[in-house]
Copies of this chain bind each other. A is one copy, B any other.
Amino acid sequence: MKLFEFEAFANPRRVRVFAAELGIELEREQVDVLAGEHLQFEHLQRNPYGAVPTLELDDGRTISESAVICRYLADLNAEGQHSDLLGNTTTERALIDMWDRRVEHGLLGAVASFFHHGTEGLATDKYRNSDWGQHNKETIAAEMHRLDQQLQEHKYLAGETFSIADITALCAVDFAALLGMPIADDHVALQGWYASVNTRDSVRA
């Protein structure tokens, strides 16, 4: 099993932090996205969509989509002692998954769109729409505000336990900060959550 990834990006980091929480060490290989390696034959053979992260199984099959890889790793983790990350009951699983996707489609999606359209982005992206990119800055602010509201009422995004939704949010927040959009000072709950999540060993994965 090997993870093809690009260390600097938010999505591969989601998988690294999740694996670290599970205590799983992954063999990793870098695909240099800035140099366009994700669109070269070798990686497209692994993943016709050119995405990182991509997990290559021992039988040669490959799995992509960060949340899917995380769920796969949790499924493999026979000890099952970390299912808090995904939820222990039907309803818990749904609520955690819901928040993970809200963050993914909301904040992380807007950060990715800002990166691709509102900054230099990747040389391999042929189409760039600066106005659309700038609009995503507003969306980033609005999405951070939503997370702050949720965290005013709950310790973690999906409730009282740390979950995959917090991992996705952490990676999105850090990538936003890297692009010049840190958490606003008046988002006190989000700031407090960020400080707390950042004390976990896994975030250094």
Q: Which residues of B contact A101 (CB under 8 A)?
A: 65, 67-68
Q: Which of A80-97 contact B (CB under 8 A)?
A: 90-91, 93-95, 97
Judge if A163 is at the interface, Cβ distance under 8 Å. Answer: no
Q: Which residues of B contact A76 (CB under 8 A)?
A: 90
Given A48-B146, A129-B132, A146-B48, A90 and B72 touching (CB < 8 A)? yes
- In the complex the two chains form, what is the Cα distance from A91 to B1 in whole Å? 13
- One of B94, B102, B132, B138 near A72 (C-beta < 8 A): B94
Binding site for B on A (CB under 8 A): 48-49, 57, 61, 63-65, 67-69, 71-72, 75-76, 90-91, 93-95, 97-98, 101-102, 106, 127, 129, 131-132, 135, 138, 146, 149
